[in-house]
Amino acid sequence: MFKVSLRSLLSHKLRLVLTAISIILGVTFVSGTLVLTDTIRNTFEGVLSNVDKGVAVQVKGPAPATAAGRLSGASLPLPESVLAQVRKVSGVADAVGTVERSGVSLLSNGQVVGGTDQRTLLGLNWVSDPQLTTFELTSGTAPRTADDVVINARTATDGHLVVGQQIQVSFEASAAQTFVISGIATFGGQNSIASEGFALFTLPTAESLLEANSTFDVIDVSAQSGVTDLQLRDRVAAALSGSSVQVQTGAQAASQTEQNAVTEINLFIGTPLLVFAFIAVFVGSFLIANTFSILVAQRTQELALLRALGATRGQVFTEVITEATLTGIFASVVGFLVGIVVADGLIHIFSSSAKLSVQLNALIVSLLVGTIITVIAAVAPARRATRIAPVAALRQAEPEIQGLPRTRIGAGLVLFLGGTAGLLQSLFTASAAAGPNLEVLGLSVLAIFLGTALLAPILVRPVATVLGWPARLRGAPGRLAGENARRNPRRTALTSAALMIGLALVTAVAVITASLEASINQSIDGTVRAQLVVLDEGSGGFSPEVATTLRQDPKLADISEIRGTDVLVGDIATGVTGFDTGNIGRVLTFSMTAGSAASIATTTNTTIVDSTEAASENIHVGGTVTMTFANGDKVNMSVGGIYTPDALISGFLVSLDTLNPHLTTARDADIALNPAPGVSLPTAQASLLNDLRAYPQLSGLTRTQYKNLISAGLNTFLNLIYVLLGLAIFIAVVGIVNTLALSVLERTRELGLLRAVGMTRGQTREMVAWESVIIALLGAVLGLAVGSGLGIALVSALHSDGISQTAVPGNNLILYAVAAGLFGIVAAIFPAIRASRVDILRAVTTE
């Protein structure tokens, strides 16, 4: 039987390719993601194996008190005195302290240097001991004077910077200072540190510029020969006992860094990409199921002949499954290889120095995913094949006209309702702290999609009738197209369902972003009273110096710094935001449900909290919460009021006076302000922008501009989603091509008959195109409905978190439907041409 499967596959190469395309594309996504993340990880590991080779022991400050549940490895600064203590430990060959802080900007001609991903650099001091540094100069010299800086190779290339050139340097928007580029360096051969740039200074410059205040972030220690890393670690730890510093061997530190990096790569790149890859494969599985169903129907005679010749049902099942397995393996291997090419291309775009890492793991996962999905999708068609009676071999094979598959519709209803229940349960019973259970959420959405796909055949008839109306007006081609779309509801539905998934996800995201935008706009119009805001579009914090500068501008008033930090409230990690309470009424208004917002202005160590947080943590006005700050300070705050959260303002709020004593470094997140009395908004903004010329990282925006900035950000996000879901939609379009091409093949005789009785080639093409449009629009209708439902459910679940507005972006939805119709026309091109070229004679002769 294996031979039969193989022959059958090879004798229909076009069919094989059409079937395999959806799986190839899905597996490409999977393999591309795996190779990409492996490569990033590998590059990073390669660098790290260089990094700490000379470092025997690494000393860091105590972990922040707020670190519970966060990435491990964060630390507070170490007092300078620790370095002297470490140097005295016996067995220490050398010990150097390093200051390393991100937030350095290079400015040139009043502009920030570097692409968007390199806006800020990591600032460090140059270490001259070659044992204890990973930085290697590629040109120029190490920083020797206070105004020397060494920058990473990538930043130099991107910014067209050369050794000897003057450059302005600013740390978190402090006043820029002029430096000279003394050299260009790599980090263990890489032109950046995991895509972040760096700037190296002399130690005194780093300490003052990076505001280290006589502290180090890390002390690296090398060992004298004969002393093992472990021995030295224990000796250093013993010498520093009493302080809560962290002491690790170089290897431990490296593995911790590596682990953090891997976690971060998976969190921000690997997992999201794999989710989208999974969606693509899932969509592909619909097409596989559909294609095999059609193939089984078309091969009825052949399979019946096998049965007539004595093949058992089991053998027929095995035959179809074997064919699916071979297709799956073929498609997976091709997809795997294409994925490598795609990953290679992406890596070259982002960083030329990385070496492609193709792991056996990626091959195994790609093969398993592609093959298993194909086989699972082929099970139902294979079972149908076993029910073909041997006598069918003697009948003329004709395209069947099917009724509604009742058992499937029952199953679809159960899946759809179960999925909906699971979705609502996971969204609305989730605790505020833990958030919804993502596994339940994901499985519920999956169940809704499968349920809708199984229910869709019911909708084929009415939707095809309604959508068929304009087609009907076009005469016979439109009329026949409508009939063709309805003749096999299962096939039409499954083909549409593939498109539905991509469109539903796009729609859901569009609903969420539109709701977010509406909610933020409402917040800006309702809560925010300030007419101007200053912020870093790169979203970093900035020096309070900026506010000081603005306070000297007579055209501006109500300068209010907004500053946030991580805290533990009880044992829950959250954030607290500090305000200039002096201007609070003119900058922000709160809608209080209890107590008063003024309480934080009048009394220190008082906080107000949003009603959702208050409810979930059982906080009441007049009660007390204990806040633990990063530096370990524990403060009892009395609760002065409870307010309704909105999209911008939520969580614990305190006065700056309450917050400042507990901050290691004070950084503003935003500054809210107003024109001075009697000054018009344009005049005030012009003056603000003039003040900000010294800080090109910062923007001074009106409320309208702020809204536009947020819209632009959300649109960028939506565009990213379009790109990521584009593949799933593309696969679905390929699915329409596939279904139509197979249908055309199946209806050869009928098409020939139509041509014989006078249908022109043009009318034939038109007929196929209309059918395609009907399939695509059915997918669009389902997708928009399911997607809007999903989006509205998710937004409703976020109502209590301040996403108070539910917005369905009608224009986007119309656009998606129109796009789907166009996809339908594009998908029809190839099958329509085939249909119009049907050989009439072959169609009408019986032999």
**3-state SS class at 165:** coil
For another protein, the binding residue among 60, 154, 491, 755 (CB under 8 A) is 755
For another protein, the binding residue among 439, 757, 810, 811 (CB under 8 A) is 757
> Min. distance of Cβ 368 from another protein in angstroms?
42
> Min. distance of Cβ 398 from another protein in angstroms?
7
Provide CB contacts within 8 A for 83, sequence distance 6+. Answer: 95, 96, 97, 216, 219
Q: Are 209 and 149 in contact (CB under 8 A)?
A: no
> Min. distance of Cβ 381 from another protein in angstroms?
22
Please give the residues from 762 up to 781 whose contact with another protein meets the rule CB under 8 A. Answer: 763
Please state the length of the chain.
847
For another protein, the binding residue among 676, 753, 826, 829 (CB under 8 A) is 753
Stretch that binds another protein, among 236-244, 637-645, 752-760, 803-811 (CB under 8 A): 752-760
Stretch that binds another protein, among 61-69, 76-84, 698-706, 838-846 (CB under 8 A): 838-846
For another protein, the binding residue among 123, 270, 399, 578 (CB under 8 A) is 399
Q: Are 768 and 740 in contact (CB under 8 A)?
A: yes
Please give the residues from 223 up to 252 whose contact with another protein meets the rule CB under 8 A. Answer: none
Stretch that binds another protein, among 110-118, 472-480, 555-563, 785-793 (CB under 8 A): 472-480
d(CA 390, CA 304): 4
For another protein, the binding residue among 129, 136, 398, 525 (CB under 8 A) is 398
Q: Taking CB under 8 A as the rule, does residue 756 contact another protein?
A: yes
> Min. distance of Cβ 378 from another protein in angstroms?
27
Q: Taking CB under 8 A as the rule, does residue 397 contact another protein?
A: no
> Min. distance of Cβ 268 from another protein in angstroms?
52
Stretch that binds another protein, among 210-218, 395-403, 706-714, 738-746 (CB under 8 A): 395-403
> Which one, 403 or 682, has the nearer CB to another protein?
403
> Min. distance of Cβ 759 from another protein in angstroms?
5
For another protein, the binding residue among 130, 164, 462, 475 (CB under 8 A) is 475
Stretch that binds another protein, among 188-196, 225-233, 252-260, 760-768 (CB under 8 A): 760-768
Burial class (CB in 10 A: 0-12, 13-18, 19+), 623: exposed
Q: Report the helix count and the strand count for the chain, using DSSP H and E.
A: 26, 24
- Binding track, positions 477-516, relative to another protein; x by CB under 8 A: --xx--xx-xx-----------------------------
Please give the residues from 721 up to 750 whose contact with another protein meets the rule CB under 8 A. Answer: 749-750
Which two structure tokens, joined as six digits, stand for 817? 């439907």
Element (H, E) at 334: helix 313-350
Element (H, E) at 579: strand 572-579
For another protein, the binding residue among 308, 372, 413, 476 (CB under 8 A) is 476
d(CA 272, CA 502): 16
Task: List helix spans (H) across 527-652.
Answer: 545-551, 584-587, 599-602, 611-617
Stretch that binds another protein, among 374-382, 396-404, 593-601, 653-661 (CB under 8 A): 396-404
> Which one, 398 or 633, has the nearer CB to another protein?
398
d(CA 834, CA 219): 72
Please give the residues from 325 up to 354 whose contact with another protein meets the rule CB under 8 A. Answer: none
> Min. distance of Cβ 328 from another protein in angstroms?
33
d(CA 228, CA 739): 68
Provide CB contacts within 8 A for 263, sequence distance 6+. Answer: 71
Stretch that binds another protein, among 43-51, 98-106, 220-228, 753-761 (CB under 8 A): 753-761
> Which one, 235 or 834, has the nearer CB to another protein?
834
Q: Taking CB under 8 A as the rule, does residue 401 contact another protein?
A: yes
> Which one, 408 or 479, has the nearer CB to another protein?
479
DSSP 588: B
Total of chain residues touching another protein, rule CB under 8 A:
29
The secondary structure of 176-215 as a DSSP string is: PEEEEEEEEEEETTBSSBTTB-EEEE-HHHHHHHTT-SSE
> Which one, 10 or 756, has the nearer CB to another protein?
756
Phi, psi of 352 (to 5 degrees): -80, -15
> Min. distance of Cβ 847 from another protein in angstroms?
9
Q: Are 251 and 233 in contact (CB under 8 A)?
A: no
For another protein, the binding residue among 214, 225, 396, 431 (CB under 8 A) is 396
Q: Are 320 and 297 in contact (CB under 8 A)?
A: no
Stretch that binds another protein, among 13-21, 475-483, 557-565, 804-812 (CB under 8 A): 475-483
Q: Taking CB under 8 A as the rule, does residue 566 contact another protein?
A: no
Distance of CA 470 to the CA centre of its chain: 40
Q: Taking CB under 8 A as the rule, does residue 364 contact another protein?
A: no
Phi, psi of 29 (to 5 degrees): -60, -45
> Min. distance of Cβ 396 from another protein in angstroms?
7
595 dihedral zone (left: phi>0; alpha: psi -120 to 50; beta)? left
> Which one, 385 or 754, has the nearer CB to another protein?
754
Nearest to 485 by CA among 498, 499, 471: 471
* ∠ CA 636-642-646, rounded to 5°: 120
> Min. distance of Cβ 521 from another protein in angstroms?
51
> Min. distance of Cβ 774 from another protein in angstroms?
13
d(CA 444, CA 661): 47
For another protein, the binding residue among 30, 219, 759, 813 (CB under 8 A) is 759
Q: Are 779 and 493 in contact (CB under 8 A)?
A: no
Q: Taking CB under 8 A as the rule, does residue 841 contact another protein?
A: yes
Return the beta strands (E) in 414-498 as ranges.
none
> Min. distance of Cβ 761 from another protein in angstroms?
7
The secondary structure of 754-789 as a DSSP string is: HHHTT--HHHHHHHHHHHHHHHHHHHHHHHHHHHHH
Phi, psi of 193 (to 5 degrees): -95, 105
d(CA 450, CA 426): 18
> Min. distance of Cβ 846 from another protein in angstroms?
5
d(CA 446, CA 234): 53
> Which one, 633 or 839, has the nearer CB to another protein?
839
> Which one, 12 or 472, has the nearer CB to another protein?
472
> Which one, 466 or 476, has the nearer CB to another protein?
476
Task: List helix spans (H) across 625-760.
Answer: 656-659, 681-691, 703-746, 748-756
> Min. distance of Cβ 402 from another protein in angstroms?
11
> Which one, 524 or 767, has the nearer CB to another protein?
767
**3-state SS class at 528:** strand
> Min. distance of Cβ 15 from another protein in angstroms?
23
> Min. distance of Cβ 836 from another protein in angstroms?
10
Q: Taking CB under 8 A as the rule, does residue 760 contact another protein?
A: yes
Looking at the DSSP bridge assignments, the partners of residue 569 are: 572, 627
d(CA 274, CA 812): 26
Place of tokens 């091709």: 334
Which two structure tokens, joined as six digits, stand for 109? 């001609």
> Which one, 235 or 487, has the nearer CB to another protein?
487
Burial class (CB in 10 A: 0-12, 13-18, 19+), 202: buried
- The residues binding another protein (CB under 8 A) are 396, 398-399, 401, 475-476, 479-480, 483-484, 486-487, 749-750, 753-761, 763, 840-841, 844-846
